[in-house]
Structure 1
């Protein structure tokens, strides 16, 4: 719903669940908007999720995205393939530099912007297995599918204290057979942290992984320090790289990891700039991102013609 040369009501950066939901709301508010999508949503990696309401048999990330996109496109053409490479703020608008798939560039002006660019999981360094998370060999969300892994042998990959929280979460919720793998990195913990691992019976393997066994498109065993370790499920708890560079360049407030802090309307500290989905500090869940989208889109609709407090006459 991009107008010919006119300023948009809103530009949405990112075509994952949060971005598509923002678009759906704005379409139904009859707003002029455009989604610029690079085609790399984190949700596409989900093999099957069972904790999205109304999908009792589970749904894959790709199927969910396909349905959301088809739903939105009933309201008209509103998605452009491309990448926003720069974002600047003027008194009454944002200017986005967009690069298309052929390398061409263009500018888009919008009164408001929603960043739904998400995050990328840091991949574990496993021998001869690149992109293990993206290929579905290693999972990344026990909240999403831990129930299906209950009472099984589970390994959590983490290089330090970061993985303790996830290992404990799994041990206290789903399984009493949990192992923390550091892939050769030293596990530097204090006495309280070691005590927490002991309390939940979490085993630790710090030796490097020399080789892997594959079975039915999954990792079935890791050979480490001369021993074989067999698991039913592997989770990675190595953290995320947040795609928040556009917001950080504008001075938006964020935490130490780069995830953005927002108000109750999902507006960042840069007035007129909103964020939704995994890029926002907090729980990384699809339904949460959709909630962000609903808040942001409704606030944008209600305030779109009004100047922001950064503009002359703004509140």
Structure 2
């Protein structure tokens, strides 16, 4: 314990002593990719991560480039951390609690491991998923009984019996998307009845998606890890897979406190360089308006890191 405390003390001292070129908030795929690019540009980078990356929940991803047999989310995170270490970078375990400006040349972050000063900031802080009554959540996600992203893994549930919990916005879209892969798709409302237009109902009928009017109140698991949707009228429906479509809220509070503009779900608006409406403040990944995908986050990170490097004062060998 004494050794750990000493390491943490030295870490805090090191963070406090330097004006970094870039502070990166979040150590998921976007943050780690940006950090690797910036270290290869020979920039000083502080990465602070509190360990809540959604990537760690993914049992296997089959659509991330370069892994034809798929890759476990936690393994991919560790591979990316290892790659960053090859270029002298590291991830500091902690949380950024407050972000302010100090004049025009510096951001100041108050964190759980000390104060960090940086010329620019890149947010890769992701989103917070909405909740639902669900037993053994992590086990269900780990075995694929509960899945979170039809775009990511709809192909992997081909031919299975699938239940979908409607989201508030565009409630029928995910169910219809999954009909691309599955003959038997059932759509449930949440406790609060979703709003359906006549067009929505026509689309469900045309797509042969079964719609259960009584809303879902919880999801349980059988002994063999099959998800069971329970509705308000006391009925039970068993499936191979359930997509809860939880809804989300972006972790954009730090940017908003500096005046950054947001859109639906508190997601940040950025320009073609991934810069928010606050000069020097960049954002990538799920915290930004757009498609939530690992490949998207890493692509945005490459753009942002290159633009940040070009905007900073030149560093010559």
Normalising by the smaller structure, the TM-score range is 0.7 to 0.9
User: TM-score scaled by structure 2?
Assistant: 0.87
Partner of 1:269: 277
CA contact (8 A) 1:184 1:206 kept: no
Distance 1:203 1:132 in 2: 27
1:213: Cα distance to partner?
3.9
User: Do residues 36 (structure 1) and 36 (structure 2) align?
Assistant: no
1:163: Cα distance to partner?
3.0
Partner of 2:107: 94
User: Do residues 12 (structure 1) and 20 (structure 2) align?
Assistant: no
From 227, 243, 252, the counterpart of 2:260: 252
CA contact (8 A) 1:50 1:56 kept: yes
- Pair 70,187 (structure 1): closer, same or farther in 2 beyond 3 Å: same
Question: Post-superposition, which runs of at least 4 consecutive aligned residues in structure 1 deviate over 6 A?
Answer: 1-4
Which structure shows the bigger proportion of residues in helix conformation? Answer: 2
- Pair 198,181 (structure 1): closer, same or farther in 2 beyond 3 Å: same
- The 3-state SS of whatever aligns with 2:64 is coil
1:193: Cα distance to partner?
1.3
CA contact (8 A) 2:275 2:304 kept: yes
Partner of 1:176: 183
Partner of 1:103: none
| Aligned Cα root-mean-square deviation (Å) | 2.2
CA contact (8 A) 1:185 1:206 kept: no
Aligned pairs for 1:107-256 within 5 A: 107-126=115-134, 128-129=135-136, 137-158=145-166, 160-171=168-179, 173-207=180-214, 208-209=216-217, 212-216=220-224, 218-224=225-231, 225-256=233-264
Query: Which runs of 5 or more structure 2 residues have no equivalent in the other structure?
Result: 1-10
User: TM-score scaled by structure 1?
Assistant: 0.88
Partner of 1:82: 94
From 284, 296, 304, the counterpart of 2:292: 284
1:132-160: CA deviation from partner (whole Å, max 9, x where unpaired) = 87666421111111111012211111254
1:291: Cα distance to partner?
0.5
1:256: Cα distance to partner?
2.7
CA contact (8 A) 2:133 2:219 kept: no
1:181: Cα distance to partner?
1.6
1:221: Cα distance to partner?
2.9
Work out the number of aligned pairs and report it: 298
1:248-287: CA deviation from partner (whole Å, max 9, x where unpaired) = 1111111031001111110111010000111110000000
CA contact (8 A) 2:219 2:227 kept: no
1:9: Cα distance to partner?
0.5
Distance 1:62 1:169 in 2: 27
Query: Which runs of 5 or more structure 1 residues have no equivalent in the other structure?
Result: 101-105, 307-315
Partner of 2:73: 61
CA contact (8 A) 1:133 1:140 kept: no
